[in-house]
A and B are shown apart, each in its own frame.
Chain A
Amino acid sequence: MYSTATQSSPSLAGVKNIVLVLSGKGGVGKSSVTTQLALTLAAQGKKVGVLDIDLTGPSIPRFFGMEDKQVYQSSAGWVPVYTDASRNLCLMSLGFLLSSRGDSVVWRGPRKTAMIRQFIRDVVWGELDYLLIDTPPGTSDEHISIAEELRFCDQILGAVIVTTPQGVALADVRKELSFCKKIGFPILGIIENMSGYVCPHCSECQNIFSKGGGENLAKQYECKFLGTVPIDPKFVLMVENAKGGLQEIYGETDMAKIFAGICDKAFSEENEEEAKETAEEEKSRAATNGQ
Chain B
Amino acid sequence: MPSLVDPVANKTDEGNNRTDLKAPEPEHCPGTESEEAGKADACQGCPNQDICASAPKGPDPDLPLIKDRMKGVKHKILVLSGKGGVGKSTFSSLLGWGFASDLDREVGLMDIDICGPSLPKMMGSEGEQIHTSLSGWSPIYVSDNLGMMSVGFMLPNQDDAIIWRGAKKNGLIKQFLKDVDWGNLDYLVVDTPPGTSDEHLSVTQYLKESGVDGAVVITTPQEVALLDVRKELDFCRKSGIKIIGLVENMSGFVCPNCKGESFIFAPTTGGGKALAEEFNIPFLGSVPLDPRIGKSCDHGESFVEEYPDSPATTAILDVIRQIREAVGDPQEDEDDDMDE
Contact = CB atoms under 8 A, between A and B. Distances in A.
Which among B114, B167, B224, B262 has the highest number of chain A CB atoms within 10 Å? B224
When A and B form their complex, which 9 residue pairs have the shortest distance between CB atoms, in order from nearest?
A27-B85, A26-B84, A109-B166, A138-B115, A167-B298, A56-B195, A179-B161, A114-B27, A104-B231
Contacts of A197: 264
A290 to B, nearest CB: 11
Given A168-B297, A199-B255, 11 more contacts: A26-B84, A57-B82, A110-B25, A110-B29, A112-B166, A138-B116, A139-B162, A144-B15, A197-B264, A199-B262, A240-B269
A140 B169 contact: yes
A143 B114 CA distance: 14
Given A101-B230, A144-B163, A168-B297, A136 B223 contact: no
B222 A240 contact: yes
Nearest to B255: A205
Nearest to A67: B227
B223 A240 contact: yes
Interface string B162-178: 11111101000000000
Contacts, number: 217
A25 B85 contact: yes
Interface stretch (A125-133, A170-178, A257-265, A270-278): A170-178
Given A59-B227, A197-B264, A174 B158 contact: yes
Contact of A136 (B194, B230, B239, B256): B194
Interface in B24-48: 24-27, 29, 42, 45-47
A287 interface: no
B280 interface: no
Interface string B224-239: 1001101110110011
Interface string A1-32: 11000000000000000000000111110010
Nearest to B223: A240
Interface string A185-217: 000000000000101111011001110000000
A131 B29 CA distance: 31
B69 interface: no
